[in-house]
């Protein structure tokens, strides 16, 4: 489907880097700040940034209920870092996980490592920046990668959330997989 439209939540944070990657992969990208703009897209990236600020933006724009309907319609969402926090039970409640902010022990600022992610043949160079740890996962949640035993990539239905930043390393495969899901769902959902 050539006219698949993908949104990047652009309230705050690293949204431009995600837009560039999606554009590079041939998707029609829209910045999403309002319920009306969300309505125009078939999938959504929630970028890294600052989850407290992003939560204020979601409240200001009245996006929580529209995002729930978006999820209920089977439209894929891909959250990275603060985006993972936004998806958890204590924020938007779109995934059955609980994220713990700034959680990697003494390495609260930044670290990077090669990470095996289920479904990808070669490791991902993963950069963690004040990254969340997934502290609890529900029964329907699939863990795709772990660091020191803690989940850092989780999938539940059409929702994918990761603790790290693929947009900083030239990593394209996760966005590519997300786009494939968006295209597949757009055909089903119409
Ligand atoms: N520490 C940030 C938060 O709690 C997330 C960091 C990031 O997105 N790089 O929102």
Cβ-proximal residues to 149 (8 Å cutoff; 6+ apart), any chain: none
Predicted pLDDT of residue 108? 60
CB 67 within 8 A of CB 73: no
46-70 average pLDDT score: 98
Distance CA 78, CA 86 (A): 11
Q: What is the pLDDT of residues 151-177, one digit of tens each?
A: 999 999 999 999 999 999 999 999 999
The CA-to-CA distance between both ends of the chain, in Å, stands at: 11
Tell me the pLDDT tens digit for each residue of 60-72: 999 999 999 999 9
Interatomic CA distance for residues 147 and 149, integer angstroms: 5
pLDDT of residue 91: 98
From 47, 48, 88, 165, the mutation candidate for ligand 1 (largest count of ligand atoms within 8 A of CB) is 48
Q: Whose CA is nearest to atom 2 of ligand 1?
A: 50
Instruction: Give the confidence band of 103 by pLDDT, cuts at 50, 70, 90.
Output: confident
Averaged pLDDT, 15-39:
97
DSSP 60: H
List, for residues 104-135, the tens digit of each pLDDT value: 765 567 899 999 999 999 999 999 999 999 99
Taking the C-alpha atoms of residue 91 and residue 50, their distance in angstroms, rounded to an integer, is 13
């Amino acid at each position: 489907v050539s006219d698949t439209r993908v949104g990047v939540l652009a309230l705050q944070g690293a949204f431009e880097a995600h837009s560039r990657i999606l554009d590079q992969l041939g998707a029609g990208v829209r910045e999403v700040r309002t319920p009306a703009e969300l309505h125009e897209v078939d999938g959504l990236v929630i970028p890294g940034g600052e989850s407290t600020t992003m939560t204020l933006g979601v409240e200001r724009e009245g996006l929580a209920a529209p995002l729930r309907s978006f999820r209920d319609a089977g439209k894929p969402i891909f959250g990275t870092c603060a985006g993972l926090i936004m998806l958890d039970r204590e924020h938007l409640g779109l995934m059955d996980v609980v994220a713990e902010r700034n959680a990697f022990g003494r390495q609260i600022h930044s670290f990077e490592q090669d990470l095996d992610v289920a479904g990808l043949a070669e490791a991902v160079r993963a950069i963690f920046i004040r990254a969340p740890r997934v502290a609890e996962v529900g029964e329907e949640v699939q863990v795709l990668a772990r660091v020191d035993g803690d989940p850092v990539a989780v999938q539940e239905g059409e929702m994918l959330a990761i603790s790290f930043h693929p947009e900083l390393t030239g990593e394209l495969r996760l966005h590519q997989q997300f786009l494939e899901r968006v295209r597949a769902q757009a055909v089903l959902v119409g």
